[in-house]
């Protein structure tokens, strides 16, 4: 088995099964009850060239919040598991992605410390029935569970769909760079991450 992982997380609010292959080619099968989240995860897989399978169920009659956050948590757990001891990875990655008027910067360090620094200049609203601020919840779940330091900064943007999509594409390219194999050692003077 290569750099792959499967995670199943079941709570009273959600039931999520996720598989990721870090060395894939961008194939995906994503089934969530939140249409916009499904679209973002598909875009993430395609642009990061990760093979991704997600089957998620959640209490969307309450809100999309639990399902979106828990998908971020499970994806973070899967990346952590797939990376193992992190030997040979680049560790750092960054990307700036435009989508029409939107421009989003992402940067990551698989440091072993789960932190999120997120700035969207107070943009709020809905994308169809999806609350825009839930992307913060998704990225927070990922950062904490993957034990990475993740920065996402919206540099420009007015149309929420464009901003969110640029964020997920930037995130995907950032991860692709950070998990790429560039050596044989753990990239840390401490010898561990």
Fold type of domain 4-179: Ribosomal Protein S5; domain 2 (3.30.230)
pLDDT digits (tens, 9 = 90+) for 35-75: 999 999 999 999 999 999 999 999 999 999 999 999 999 99
Distance CA 82, CA 19 (A): 10
Q: Where are the domains of the chain?
A: 4-179
Q: pLDDT, tens digit, for every residue of 111-158?
A: 999 999 999 999 999 999 999 999 999 999 999 999 999 999 999 999
- Continuous segment of H or E residues that includes residue 150: strand 149-156
**pTM score, two decimals?**
0.97
Alpha-carbon gap, residue 189 to 183, rounded angstroms: 14
**Between the CA atoms of 27, 32, 35 and 40, what dihedral angle is there, to the nearest 10 degrees?**
-40
């Amino acid at each position: 088995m290569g750099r792959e992982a499967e995670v199943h997380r079941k709570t009273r609010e959600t039931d999520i099964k996720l598989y990721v292959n870090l060395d894939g080619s961008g194939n995906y099968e994503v089934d969530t009850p939140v249409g916009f989240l499904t679209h973002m995860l598909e875009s993430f897989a395609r642009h990061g060239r990760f093979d991704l399978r997600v089957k998620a169920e959640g209490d969307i009659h309450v809100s999309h919040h639990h399902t979106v956050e828990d998908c971020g948590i499970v994806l973070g757990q899967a990346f952590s598991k797939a990376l193992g001891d992190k030997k040979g990875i680049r560790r750092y990655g960054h990307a700036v992605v435009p989508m029409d008027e939107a421009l989003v910067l992402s940067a990551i360090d698989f440091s072993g410390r789960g932190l999120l620094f997120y700035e969207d200049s107070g943009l709020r609203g809905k994308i169809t029935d999806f609350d825009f601020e839930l992307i913060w919840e998704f990225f927070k779940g990922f950062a904490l569970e993957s034990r990475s330091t993740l920065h996402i900064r919206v540099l420009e943007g007015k149309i929420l769909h464009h901003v969110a999509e640029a964020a997920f594409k930037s995130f995907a390219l950032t991860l692709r760079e950070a998990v790429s194999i560039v050596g044989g050692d753990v990239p840390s003077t401490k010898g561990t991450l």
